[in-house]
Structure 1
Amino acid sequence: MRHNTRAWQVKRRERTRQLIELGGLVAKADLVELTGDDRAVILGLLVEAAATLRGESREQQLTLWRRRGRRAFDPENCQ
């Protein structure tokens, strides 16, 4: 029983960390400020992105977004 509790705690911490990191990406993209912290708009953007990834241009879109994301992470591009 104790092992199961420990494993659950580790998984929960990992999930919490993942969610915090994803929230940080939303903030880094300026989506919070640009949308006035309108969570329905932010979710709509993410739903739209998911729909795009279900389409035929999935690989092209992933390549484009990956390039843009890497540029955003580049310290030389930071403001």
Structure 2
Amino acid sequence: MREWQVKRRERTRQLIELGGLVAKAGLVELTEDDRAALYGAFLTVAAKLRGPDGAQALVLFRRKGRRAFEAEQAEDKPSLG
């Protein structure tokens, strides 16, 4: 497979995964699939990350996301009791 095809597949996979996160967070329903609202929200997050407290915001976002992933994994595991 050619290098550009590999890169294109990797990029496509990344975009699909990112779209999945948008859906998983419930943003599609909350905005009634309003692309302008979603884009505005992403721009707001990007501005916060570029701001003076961006590093701290990233730490908080990351922590919240990891906890959500862990909670989801815990829900998916069958209980042994």
Could you tell me the TM-score, scaled by structure 1's length? 0.86
The share of aligned pairs that are identical, in percent, is: 65
Q: CA RMSD in A?
A: 1.6
Counting matched residue pairs gives 74
Q: Which residue of 1 aligns with 2:79?
A: none
The answer for the alignment partner of 1:49 in structure 2 is: 45
Q: Which amino acid aligns with 1:35?
A: T
Q: Which runs of 5+ in 1 are unaligned?
A: none
Deviation at 1:59, TM superposition (A): 1.1
Distance 1:26 1:71 in 2: 17
Distance 1:69 1:39, change over 3 A: same
Q: CA deviation at 1:67?
A: 1.1
Counterparts of 2:51 and 2:57, CA distance in 1: 10
**Runs of 4+ displaced beyond 2 Å:** 75-78
Q: Quote how far apart the aligned CAs of 1:77 are.
A: 6.4
Determine the structure 1 residue equivalent to 2:55.
59
Unaligned runs of 5+ in 2: 77-81
* TM-score normalized with structure 2 length: 0.84
- Superposed CA deviations along residues 49-73 of structure 1, whole A, max 9, x for unmatched, are 0111110001110111011111211
Within a 5 Å distance, the mapping from 1:1-79 to structure 2 comes to 6-74=2-70, 75=72, 76=74
